[in-house]
Amino acid sequence: AGVLLTASAVTAVFGGIGLVETQIVGQTAPQLIAIYPVLSLFIGGLLAVGGFLLVLTKYPTKPQYALLCMVLAGWILYPTVMPGQGYYNPLGYLLVLSLPAIIAYIVWTDARGVLQSIRLQTTPKLVGIVAGLLMCVFFAFSAGTMSIKPDSGLNAPTSAFIIPYNVASPLVVWPAVEWYFPSIPFTGYLSVGSFLLMAILGGLTGLNAAIVTQQWSGSESVSATPLFSGSLAASGATACCCCAPAFYGALSVLFGTAVTPVYWSFMIPSSPVGSTFFAASVLLLLWSIVRATGASAGDACAVAPSE
């Protein structure tokens, strides 16, 4: 079963990469820019307020949940609040670097039991590592940081190169390395920021996959286990969320240039669409991991019953 699942996952990942590589680039100018700031303020405000209300009403001893929602809201709001002048602002770096720290703290404090049990079992650990790496690869191609279909034209490079580079994503400017190998063909870049994104999404996805594998191997009827279903659903939904540009790839193959507004909604930095999908991915995966610990250890993530 493990071999079959691994083969299926590899096939799905490379099939998704092929789909992303065939997407149509938007040719017309973006038309919905005016609504992006309003949409960003609405979504970011809703997430921040929702985090505080969740802590106040359900998890009063877990302020880190509200802090996580605040940081994710900051990711959504930052391009709108700091348009064109936030690429080197310390606040942007603080938002990006604080996210993995908060996630690591929540996983360590609320899911330590699951981590320790997975560490002692070989199969769940290996499945988690493979799933995390596959998610990183899929995300890299889906987000456009890597491609097997380099641009061609009059000014396109004709020889291989590896050069230092600066990338203004996520949120701020990060040092990066860009490469181009026309004989393969393979092009792309890796920045400090993109590495952090892949580490966050790949790590959380790998943990969920390891939890699912552990539950599968330890339960006679996994289909009847709500925890198993929840972890699997969260992992599947997150595969769509964090690699949201692949959604445009599928639409462009089916409908052509008619879906150009969807293309621009992912490409324009002021658009909240990409950051909203990312925030949803983090929340889904983290919720699934914490829920796994709660179900296996007497709902450890819950507080004492309300009076």
Give the range of the structural domain holding residue 276, as residue numbers without chain letter.
2-296
Compute the average pLDDT of residues 82-106. Answer: 90
Q: Do the domain assignments include residue 237?
A: yes
Model confidence at 256: pLDDT above 70: no
Q: Do the domain assignments include residue 305?
A: no
> pTM, whole model, 2 decimals?
0.78
Q: Do the domain assignments include residue 306?
A: no
pLDDT digits (tens, 9 = 90+) for 129-171: 988 898 888 888 877 788 887 766 667 777 889 999 898 888 9
Q: What is the pLDDT of residue 274?
A: 79
Model confidence at 233: pLDDT above 50: no
Using pLDDT thresholds of 50, 70 and 90, give the confidence band for residue 113: confident
Q: Do the domain assignments include residue 302?
A: no
Q: Do the domain assignments include residue 304?
A: no
Q: Do the domain assignments include residue 23?
A: yes
Using pLDDT thresholds of 50, 70 and 90, give the confidence band for residue 220: very low
Single out the residue of 91, 94, 51 nearest to residue 70, CA to CA: 51
Compute the average pLDDT of residues 232-245. Answer: 48
Q: What is the pLDDT of residue 294?
A: 64
* Cα dihedral sign, 263-269-275-276: negative
Using pLDDT thresholds of 50, 70 and 90, give the confidence band for residue 306: very low
Q: Do the domain assignments include residue 71?
A: yes
Domain count, the chain: 1
Q: Do the domain assignments include residue 307?
A: no
